[in-house]
Amino acid sequence: MNRKADHRKPRLVFFQWDHQPNANAAGYLLLHMQQQVKCLETHFDVIVVNRDCDYAEICDRYEPDLTLFESGYRSHGSHRIKIANTNAHITVPKLGLHNADAWCDRRAGFLSDMEHWGIETYFAIATMAPEYMPAVKDNLFVWPNFIDPEVYRDYGQQKIIPVTLTGQAYGLYPWRQTIFPIFRDRYPCLVSPQHAYESKLASQLLSGEAYARALNASLVAPTCGTMGGEIVRKHFEIPGAKSCLVTERTAAVEAAGFVDMENCVFVDSSNAVEKLDYLFAHPDDIRRITAAGYSLVHSRHTLTHRPQIYQWFMLNKGLEVGEKIIQSGPFGELTKVRRTSMQESVHIVGEARDRALLKQGDLLLQQGRVEDAKHCYERCLDFVSYLPEAKFRLALCALQEGDADRASGLLVELVKVTITDYGALDPDPVEWAYFLLALICRGHFKQARRLRDFYPSLFHEEIRRAHLVIAQLGGSADAVAPRSYGRDRKSVHQVPDRTDSEWLVWFTDILERCQRHDLSNGLRLAAFGGSAAGENMTSPHFKADAGLRLRLYSGIDGLMVKLRLNGMRPNVPPLPEFRYLWHLARGLIPQSQRGSFRRIQMALSRPSRSKHP
């Protein structure tokens, strides 16, 4: 396709997931995706590609000036598209879009996608994303939530609803859990049901204009930004529809320009009733605050006020050696500065409740107070039941307690989320490294050694150390592993800063706690005594992992390699806990017949019923 001579806007190809497949999904989810495209169209000629495709062919066809890749979404039924040949057209700049909550358990999948697609600069819709992905925060910018002013506006509705309560109010929303019952028990309220995103009833929830009109007919509507202190769309939708925003005071909300009793109302459990009673008794004040909130949102937070991706594109075109791009704040503009300057992007830090608990737990674990540390990490799961950082740290606690099986189970769950549920090409590097270590702690050394290079492009300092342990315990000539094999893959996890010697002391202690005394002695001898530990291969612990079932899995995988059928091998380790044989069989069955295969598999997995009572 030739570029038209009168083409004025730069052309952007947006590789967006196919968000249409799930007809039962909440309507507002699909609207959000459509509004993102509409926002991009403010500055770009946008071509949306939401099917499996070849990047080179797409670039040849559309000749884009910029490409944007959606990634890290927590599906809710949407289809994650596959994109081949992303190493083509290297002159076309590429950006990643983390279109998810900052704490999402698909972050490792996002980082894997970015690595394999050759993308080094990212945007996120969550203002707290840099706090949750510190490894990439220097290359991470915020493209924050916004409203479509054609939908969220003043419809002139009569204010017949005192309070409207919408949105989820479970553990992720502690402020709502406290405030919603207070309001519901004291004031007449319009209460929207709390259907899950994937529920068949989710499609019945108010969305779009109907939702905006309900807000427009309400005097006040409360919302919060979750335990993470985030800015969610409701923060803008409520005042954007000319209702008075009642919310929790957070740094993100204040960064957006909200000021208590000027354009919104900040409340907590101690003053919520007092403030609302005052507002209802002073209608002039509530009208003033509502009008100011409406003015703030429509002057700063509509889709026309989100030029950050366009700004990056324009700045990057003229970026010179020795310059970098920074963002003045989560809602701020992007600018160029010298790399030698002290200026960095301004991020919001220190507000998220789970981050505080993780830090507290880390300090307790460092002091050897494992039970207290576990309590902190488990409290994080009360907010987000799937939080990867909390589960990973609980695996570390299990190792400290000598429970290698428990640690391995937690790490298997984490790896499966990324490579099976999300479909990434490889897992988080730190999770993979510690899974290998947990295998060794269970006495499954041979499996750990076989799996050492299962993900050959996955590099990280912790993987190097796991490889070092495997080499030393196996008596390998490569017992002194190189510092790294390539560029370290970014991880969602932060591990204690230790030297190799300190780390080896720590792991030998873990082996002792897991009752692997021969391995501990062998590693201590190899690491600090200068001799190999190959003689440990004959120990009972090494023999214990050579069971028929594990050998069967490894043998089948090895046969696939010998027959040069690598393209048909599952992207999961050849172990029963990863359902290797199921994935292998599924891969060998044509796409058209997989529905029947799935039904057979489900039938076989059901417990049999006895013919006798």
For 237-293, the DSSP string reads HHHHTT-EEEE---HHHHHTT--BTTTBEE--TTTHHHHHHHHHH-HHHHHHHHHHH
Question: For the residues 460-486, what does the mean pLDDT come to?
Answer: 75
What the block records as the tokens of 436 is 């290998």
Strand order in the sheet with 140-142: 45-49, 11-15, 66-71, 94-98, 122-124, 140-142
Give me the chain's average pLDDT, please.
88
- At which residue do the structure tokens 């999402």 appear? 104
CA distance 557 to 227: 44
Exposure string (b/e) for 449-478, b if CB count within 10 Å is 16 or more?
A: bbbbebbeebbbbbbbbbbbbbbbbbbbee
Percent of the chain having pLDDT more than 90?
A: 72
Listed range (302-316, 430-444, 583-597) with the worst mean pLDDT: 583-597
- At which residue do the structure tokens 């089948």 appear? 556
- Long-range contacts (CB closer than 8 Å, 24 or more residues apart) made by 467-471: 468/500, 469/437, 469/440, 469/504, 469/507, 469/523, 470/436, 470/440, 470/445
CA distance 477 to 531: 11
Question: For the residues 331-358, what does the mean pLDDT come to?
Answer: 92
603 pLDDT more than 60: no
Q: Which residue, among 497, 490, 436, has the nearest Cα to 466 in the 3D structure?
A: 436
**How many beta carbons lie within 10 A of that of residue 258, not counting itself?**
25
123 vs 203 pLDDT, higher one: 123
In this structure, the strands spanning 83-84 and 53-54 are parallel
Residue 500 phi/psi, 5° resolution? Answer: -60, -40
Question: For the residues 161-168, what does the mean pLDDT come to?
Answer: 94
Question: For the residues 165-189, what does the mean pLDDT come to?
Answer: 95
pTM over 0.75: yes
> What pLDDT is attached to residue 524?
84
pLDDT tier for residue 557 given thresholds of 50, 70 and 90:
confident
> What pLDDT is attached to residue 609?
37
Listed range (53-62, 428-437, 545-554) with the worst mean pLDDT: 545-554
Question: For the residues 122-148, what does the mean pLDDT come to?
Answer: 96
175 vs 576 pLDDT, higher one: 175
Helix (H) or strand (E) holding 107: helix 107-117
Question: For the residues 176-200, what does the mean pLDDT come to?
Answer: 87
For 483-518, the DSSP string reads S-SSSPPP-S-------HHHHHHHHHHHHHHTT-HH
Question: For the residues 22-45, what does the mean pLDDT come to?
Answer: 84
Q: Which residue, among 69, 88, 89, has the nearest Cα to 80 in the 3D structure?
A: 69
Listed range (22-36, 91-105, 161-175, 248-262) with the worst mean pLDDT: 22-36
> What pLDDT is attached to residue 477?
46
Listed range (10-24, 63-77, 199-213) with the worst mean pLDDT: 199-213
Listed range (11-15, 28-32, 558-562) with the worst mean pLDDT: 558-562
CA distance 384 to 102: 11
573 pLDDT more than 90: no
CA distance 133 to 127: 11
Confirm whether 11-144+306-338 and 161-301 share one CATH topology.
Answer: yes
Q: What is the pLDDT of residues 251-287, one digit of tens each?
A: 999 999 999 999 999 999 999 999 999 999 999 999 9
Question: For the residues 518-528, what does the mean pLDDT come to?
Answer: 81
Fold of 11-144+306-338: Rossmann fold (3.40.50)
Q: What is the pLDDT of residues 498-514, one digit of tens each?
A: 999 999 999 999 999 99
473 pLDDT more than 50: yes
> What pLDDT is attached to residue 558?
76
Strand order in the sheet with 218-223: 189-191, 161-165, 218-223, 244-247, 265-266
Q: What is the pLDDT of residues 241-253, one digit of tens each?
A: 999 999 999 999 9
3-state secondary structure 510-536: HHHHCCCHHHHHHHHHHHHCCCCCHHH
Question: For the residues 324-353, what does the mean pLDDT come to?
Answer: 92
Domain ranges within the chain, ordered by starting residue: 11-144+306-338, 161-301, 354-383, 386-546, 558-605
> What pLDDT is attached to residue 584?
82
How far CA 130 is from CA of 234, 235, 312, in Å, comes to 21, 20, 17
- At which residue do the structure tokens 């502690």 appear? 174
CA distance 132 to 350: 11
CATH superfamily placement of domain 161-301: Glycogen Phosphorylase B; (3.40.50.2000)
27 touches 203 (CB < 8 A): yes
98 pLDDT more than 50: yes
CA distance 191 to 367: 47
pLDDT tier for residue 96 given thresholds of 50, 70 and 90:
very high
